[in-house]
Amino acid sequence: MKARLRLTLNGHPPGDLPLEAHWERDRLQGVLRQENPVLGELVLPFACRLEGERLRPLPLPPPCLRLEGRARPVREGLELDLDLELVLPPGRTWGERAFARIVETLFLRHLASALSPRAGSPV
């Protein structure tokens, strides 16, 4: 499952988002912090590379976020249209895979409510 997010980076941290992001050359990287009712605080790193207007995800070890999308310059800075996906370690048993789906669903619901009305519903 994925969530969609649109935000503008303008040199100031997005104060109403649980997101810390910064540019380093052609890379966007940072962390998303979220309180999860099952696991406590999640600190999820992400990294992607800008190729033209496309943001392409860079591999990170799980748990992490996989971000991809588009970046466009606007007057206020850079507008990002992102698809976010939670990446968890692969489950070996059906119980571990079921638990991962529950965590993923909770993550996306809490993210949508934290970012509302900025984030769309999970896709």
- pLDDT tens profile 59-110: 999 989 999 999 998 887 888 898 989 898 888 999 988 988 888 888 877 7
Residue of higher predicted confidence among 123 and 76: 76
Per-position b or e across 50-80, b if 16+ CB within 10 A of its CB: beeeebebeebeebbbbbebebeeeeeebbb
Q: Between the CA atoms of 70, 72, 78 and 84, what dihedral angle is there, to the nearest 10 degrees?
A: -10
Q: What is the pTM of this model?
A: 0.78
Residue of higher predicted confidence among 37 and 50: 50
Burial of 32 (0-12, 13-18, 19+ CB in 10 A): buried
- Average confidence (pLDDT) over 46-52: 94
Q: Are strands 40-51 and 19-24 parallel, antiparallel or unpaired?
A: unpaired
